[in-house]
Amino acid sequence: MTAAPIESGVDEARTPLLSVRDLTTTFAAGRRAVQAVRGISFDLYPGEILGVVGESGSGKSVSVNSLMNLLPPAPITRMTGSVLFEGRDLITLSERELRRVRGREISMIFQDPSVSLNPVQTVGSQIAEAIHVHDRKVSRKALRDRSIKLLSMVGVPSPAVRYAQFPHEYSGGMRQRAMIAMALANQPKVIIADEPTTALDVTIQAQVLDMLKTIREETGAATIFISHDLGAIAEVADRMIVMYAGEIVEWGDVDSVFAHPRHPYTLGLISSLPRVDTETDELVSIPGQPPNMAAPPSGCAFHPRCALSQDREPCRTQLPALTPVDDGRMAACHFTGELDVAPDRRLKVAGPAPAPLREAPAGELLAVKDLVVRFPIKSRVIKHTLGHVQAVDGVDLTVAPGESLGLVGESGCGKSTTGLAILRLIESSGGQVVLQGRDLTNLSKRQLQPVRREMQIVLQDPYTSLNPRMTVRGIVGEPLETHGVGSGASRRKRVDELLRLVGMGPEHADRFPHEFSGGQRQRIAIARALALDPKLLVLDEPMSSLDVSIQAQIVNLLQRLQRELSLAYLLISHDLSVVRHVCDRIAVMYLGRIVETGTTADVYARPTHPYTQALLSAVPQPDPSGRGNRQRIVLTGDVPGPDKPPAGCRFHTRCWRAQDRCKHDSPELIDRFGHGHPSACHFAAAPGEDVPEGVDDPADDAVSADHR
Amino acid sequence: MLGYVARRLIIAVPVWFGILLIAFVFVHMLPGDPVQMLIDPSQLSGASHEFLAQKRAELGLDKPLPVQWLIWMRNIAEGNLGYSYQQDVPVTHLISQRFGATLLLTLTAVGLAIAVAVPIGVMASLKQNTFVDYIASGVSMLALSIPVFFLGLIAIYIFALQLNVLPSGGEHTLGVPATLWDTIQHLAMPACVLAAVLLGPYVRYVRQSMLDVLRQEYITTARAKGASRYRVVVKHALRNALIPLTAVLAVQVPALLAGTVVIETVFAWPGLGQLVYQSIEGLDYPVILVIVMMSAVLVLICNLLADVLAAVLDPRIRL
Amino acid sequence: MSSDFIEPRAGVEAELIAAAEANAELNAESTSRSPLRIAMRGFMNHRLAMVALAFLIVVALLAIFAPLIAPFDPNAVDISHFRQPPSGTHWLGTDEAGRDVLSRLLYGAQVSLTVGVTAALSAGFIGLALGLLAGFLGGWVDATIMRLTEVVLSFPSLIVIILLVAIVGPSIGSIVLVIALFEWPTGCRIVRQVTRVTKEAGYVTAARSVGVGNFRLMSRHMIGSVTSPLTVIVTLLSAQAILLEAALSFLGLGVNPPQASWGGMLQSAQSLTVLSNYWWLWLPPGVAIGLTVLAINFVGDGLRDAFDPRQEMRGKA
């Protein structure tokens, strides 16, 4: 690719701070060379936040890590092109010269703060080190003072105490703040944030995103913000780059890219996202699999998956150049002119819940009553129990036949544990799990065996949920074998049928899991779960380790299967948008308890528990146009550990409505308004409404009849 | 921390007790009669049968085994470790003499091995898959494969017999007052040979551990700060990499103290290993038992030490 | 406790993984290959390991066919020709009893290899059985087995081995037994560790949710993940066992004379006269032990690289 004439972009007047031209990064993997970044060019202007979005393998992380030559030393890497920063070409600088740039003029924030901090050094000393390595003259005391100031600047409470603590004494969100403090230590001109919120929960993510915006305002530093999450990009970025297969396919200001994508891949990405703020029809997924970077497709790398291309000549043979399109934006597509469809054509107008397409499910397939799961905390030496972690603390749920219930919450809230306990893969410590009128909690292993045919699980990580040493046929056929269903030939037929059902073919049956991509593996896992014709599927975060475009494929598959096989789903997820899209009803969990439950439409339209409200408002939305007038509730603090949950209402430590009684009086989950969706808050109120008089005492509230 | 140490010690009691019992049974299963070993074979005629019986009673060997076990346990509880059959001196006296020599040999060797292995291992990890790495790996593999006695023999052949620069064995020159220099000369060969053998596994541990740490993200963080290479390697990587090594050492050092029989034989080094060997040959029950008991205690202490050290080095570990 | 949430595989690491994955996919394009075959392919690409394996095969063949190859009876005493330097008749000379050193060397290989292989396999088997039980069943079974490994590891092993050999009398069988008895804990601990990790793996949870019984879980799902590390360990243990046998023979606690063994042949070099004047008595067996053990260690390394989980299961657990 030739150097793109970026200068014709929108910011002609200003001079770029950082200008990247034709950057190529090659890894020697075995005997082959893999080009992870294939000749990208872009400019970063002072004070802007530049979003870089792309799926895994798109080269977005490699490209920014190439800027300061920070790639892990393991594979042999080669870089060509230029990275001009204040008159110097960073690519040609020696390691020694580069060191003076790193952390002083350009600093970085990494993805997972739990592994990015040295575990055996105090957080304070690591921040101080960032200053010390660039200015040896600063005294110890001054280092300490400045570090503490930085910690308080990023909102770490009691910074003087925190200064002397080790990373493992910090919570996840706090660690990321410390990383940010470290990045700010020398007032850099450029901050590179590589997926800084990916490892964080949604309420913590909201805090960090806010902080990135504040930092830009206060320090004027330019930021490169890398994310796979279009919502996060839309939330903070001014301009954005879309990457695919190591190349930039689209570049422009955030508003217009989201409003009118000029590249079919960008359009595909946006359309494959379910929305938390509106109802969506079937997601428009991008077909196919992510490109194989060792042998990228010829011509335009996206053409095998492109709906616009229709396998036309130039797409197959010619690499499209990144060229300016209409309003000063750039796109790399031969037929960008044909792409004039507004992406929101599929969005329905936000409003009240649409009429359900299916009949409202009736009856009770699964009923969970007062489920409790406790894990003992054992001492390291003599194995005696020190105490308990109350992972699930009195959960009630029902799922009707053919219905889908979403169980949402942040990490550590106990939602996965609930799922595993329902299937008796973890033993519960109390309560009942009733499936089709039969209490499972006291069944023996033998008695449980026939019940297992009725409910199955799909796990989160398709990379570990398939035995790497078994063929797909062995994996999908294992349930049939275990339950003695059919024999040789009929089982073969059934496996082929199951594979076809999930969109794969019999030709895949004799292969091994490692030969498939993440999305394909998840399809295999679904096929296995369906082998015995279950009535209920527990889906434990089945999409969370997949890329956006693949996630949409799986969501569509699950919805199709539900229609065709009238399955009931218990979808466990942290992703509120997916749950809104898939589920009929939703239950929100916080620290082992359900805080609010109701129909999806109701809860999303009128959340009454402050936690639900905060959760919903914290989800970044892939719609930059509305970011100015959206009301965000940013919760302070972190989720307390489940080993020492707060007394009373467990949410009171982070709640803005909390009053004295919340500290000791645990609220019950009851329907306070007669909307048919109960919530567990003494001061429940829909957003924008004040707490209604008289509602604060549930004992007096006689209107709590269930209208469903 | 203190509570942890106390609990560990309590747990160790049954383990330690089991070891003693097994050792006691084993020792008494040794073929032969310890009392007969005390007598010059040429004098072993019919007349001395009475003497044998008397000697046996004197040593308490005429009682049934369980009683002997109880008596021995009581004696140990009272701090009386017994007398050597062979040399008629207190076992403690005998062992303390030999223990010093063994301690000198093994600690020198371990110290030497660490001092050489850490830099080599670090270098190899930094230059992974280069000439330096291959040489380091090759040498450590070689050290891992050569039998220690063979290496010892080669060393004696070269340095004592051909070059004649070092003595071939012993702790010091006989008949001459011991000097430091003399001891160093005698120590040099056995210590270096033992160190060379230890070098193999140490280099591999350090290299692997460093490679694991260098792959961690906090190393990238340190680089992104602009820290110098030295700082990244020594302050961030090495400290983390050496934590697992302490556990390895903790298992190895006590095993070495009792397990240098071979090298002590080759170099005629008057240490514990030789004492064990001689005691087994001479059926000197009390000496064997005390050495086994002592090594079990050492293993325990070293393991405990490793735990404490790990907690000191790694703030995430709480005892 | 199960974690509720694993971040999507993003960042540099994931991209590198993706690159490697893509590479692997390319290799696996035409025919479908099992992880075992991929590991074997990896091993065969390991040049040093292949050379070492070839060397071991040659040594094994020499040992097996020693009766056909050896020029002399290894135990034939010929007082008139003792301590002869290497010559046309006696390629490696003769020892103090006039026996042919080359012949004894070939027969000695039988002892070393037999001890190495059988001791390591026995230790590996004990380790596999106990490790699987401990890791899979947990609870008091686990606690008991772990205490047992601690007891064995706390023994000063060489002392106890010498003690045991003295009790049961030196022979190949007793040496194998004693070594197996003291070398199993390494394998046991690794097997236990892998079993515990595998037990938590997604595919085992999935199998349990289908109702797969314990026996099938162990035989179908656990054994597979345990075999690769165990193979490596057994290989390295056999090197260890050969060294131990040699050391015991060197101390005079090995096989009964006049049977030839490498360690036993070196015993004569404890005399400084032999050491300085008759190199052919001690150098060949020493080199033979060193090379054989080196070769086994290289094979073990090659196996470990081939089985490396980082290459095999690219997903992070």
User: How confident is the model over A501-530, as pLDDT tens digits?
Assistant: 998 888 888 888 888 888 899 999 999 999
- The string of pLDDT tens digits covering residues A580-625 is 999 999 999 999 999 999 999 889 888 989 999 999 888 888 888 7
The CA distance from A286 to the nearest CA of chain C, in Å, is: 19
**Tokens representing residue B1 in the block:** 């921390």
Q: How far apart are the first and last CA of chain B?
A: 5
> pLDDT tens-digit profile of B149-175?
899 999 999 998 888 888 887 777 777
**Tens digit of each residue's pLDDT (9 = 90 or more) over C138-154:** 888 888 898 888 778 76
- Note whether A619 and A625 are within 8 A (CB): no
Rounded Cα–Cα distance for residues A374 and A418 (Å): 11
Terminus-to-terminus CA distance in chain C, angstroms? 14
Q: A105 with A83: CB under 8 angstroms?
A: no
Q: How confident is the model over C161-179, as pLDDT tens digits?
A: 888 888 888 888 888 988 8
pLDDT > 80? residue B180: yes
Query: Whole-model pTM?
Result: 0.82
Residue C1 is predicted with a pLDDT of: 31
Closest residue to A117, CB basis, from B218, B229, B319: B218
Q: Residue A178: what pLDDT?
A: 93
**In a mutagenesis test of the A interface, which of C4, C141, C144 is the best target, namely the one with the most A β-carbons within 10 Å?**
C4
| Cβ–Cβ gap A116/B11 under 8 Å | no
Asked if A93 is an interface residue toward chain B (Cβ–Cβ < 8 A), one would say no
Q: Which residues contact A462 (CB under 8 A, 6 or more apart)?
A: A518, A519, A521, A522, A524, A525, A545, A546, C315
Question: Percent of chain A beyond pLDDT 90?
Answer: 35
Distance CA C159, CA C137 (A): 33
What confidence tier does A1 reach under pLDDT thresholds 50, 70, 90? very low
Most A CBs within 10 Å, among B215, B225, B240, B242, to test the A interface:
B225
- Confidence grade of residue C271 (pLDDT, cut at 50, 70, 90): confident
Among the partner residues C147, C251, C266, nearest to B15 by beta-carbon distance: C147
Average pLDDT over residues B257-277: 83
Nearest CA in chain A to C24: A515
Q: Provide the pLDDT for residue A703.
A: 32
Q: Which of the other chains make 3 or more beta carbon contacts under 8 angstroms with chain B?
A: A, C
Using an 8 Å CB-CB cutoff, list chain B residues near A179: 221
Tokens representing B146? 């050569």
A629 CB-contact burial (10 Å; exposed 0-12 / middle 13-18 / buried 19+): exposed
Of the residues C15, C34, C226, C313, the best mutation for testing chain A's interface (the one with the most A CB atoms within 10 Å of its CB) is C15
C263/B147 touch (CB, cutoff 8 Å), yes or no: yes
A99 reaches B (C-beta below 8 A): yes
Which of C166, C293, C294 lies at the smallest CB-CB distance from B280? C166
Give the range among A3-7, A273-277, A536-540, A652-656 with minimum mean pLDDT: A3-7
Query: Inter-chain contact C293–B146, Cβ cutoff 8 Å?
Result: yes
- Continuous H helices in chain C: 11-27, 35-44, 47-64, 66-69, 101-137, 139-154, 157-168, 172-200, 202-210, 214-216, 223-250, 262-267, 272-277, 279-307, 309-312
To the nearest whole angstrom, how far is the Cα of B169 from the nearest Cα of chain C? 10
The least confident of A193-197, A700-704, C103-107 is A700-704
Burial (CB < 10 A; 0-12, 13-18, 19+), residue C206, is: buried
Model ipTM value: 0.83
A133·B231 Cβ contact <8 A: yes
Set of chain B residues whose Cβ sits within 8 Å of the Cβ of C290: 142, 145-147, 150
Burial of A506 (0-12, 13-18, 19+ CB in 10 A): middle
d(CA B116, CA B198): 10
Q: Which backbone phi and psi does A620 adopt, to 5 degrees?
A: -70, 140
- Count Cα neighbours of A163 within 13 Å in the Cβ-side half-sphere: 19
What residue in B sits closest to A108 (Cα-Cα)? B224
Q: pLDDT tens across C14-61, in order?
A: 444 444 444 444 444 445 567 777 777 777 777 888 899 999 999 999
The shortest C-alpha distance from A127 to chain B (Å) reads: 9
A401-434 pLDDT per residue, tens = 999 999 999 888 889 999 999 999 988 888 999 9
Residue C156: pLDDT band with limits 50, 70, 90:
low
Q: Do B149 and C266 touch (CB under 8 A)?
A: yes
Q: Does the CA dihedral B277-B278-B281-B283 come out positive or negative?
A: negative
Residue numbers in B near C158 (CB within 8 A): 255, 258-259, 261-262, 273
Strands A568-573 and A404-408, bridge-based pairing: parallel
φ, ψ of residue C71 to 5 degrees: the values are -70, -25
B182 pLDDT higher than 50 = yes
Rounded average pLDDT over A452-472: 90
Phi first, then psi: what are they for A251, rounded to 5°?
-150, 130
User: What's the confidence (pLDDT) of residue A686?
Assistant: 75
* Nearest by CB: A70 against B128, B220, B236: B220
* Confidence class for position C91, pLDDT limits 50, 70, 90: confident
Closest residue in B to A118 (Cα) is B218
- Distance (Å) from the alpha carbon of A124 to chain C's nearest alpha carbon: 26
Cβ–Cβ under 8 Å, residues A595 and A611: yes
Q: How many residues does chain A have?
A: 708
Q: Nearest-CA distance from A222 to chain B in Å?
A: 17
Q: Give C123's pLDDT tier (boundaries 50, 70, 90).
A: very high
Residue of B nearest to A98 (CA): B226
Which residue from A minimizes the CA distance to B216? A115
CA A138, chain centre distance (Å) = 41
**For residue A335, what pLDDT is reported?**
86
Q: Which residues contact C216 (CB under 8 A, 6 or more apart)?
A: A482, C207
Write out pLDDT tens, residues A360-408.
Answer: 566 789 999 999 998 887 765 555 667 778 889 889 999 999 999 999 9
pLDDT surpassing 50 at residue A561 = yes
State the nearest Cα–Cα gap between C89 and chain A, in angstroms: 51
Locate A446 and state its tokens.
């033998």
Tokens of A391: 């992972």
- Do B228 and A133 count as a contact with CB atoms less than 8 A apart? yes
Which chain C residues contact residue A460 at CB under 8 A?
6, 202
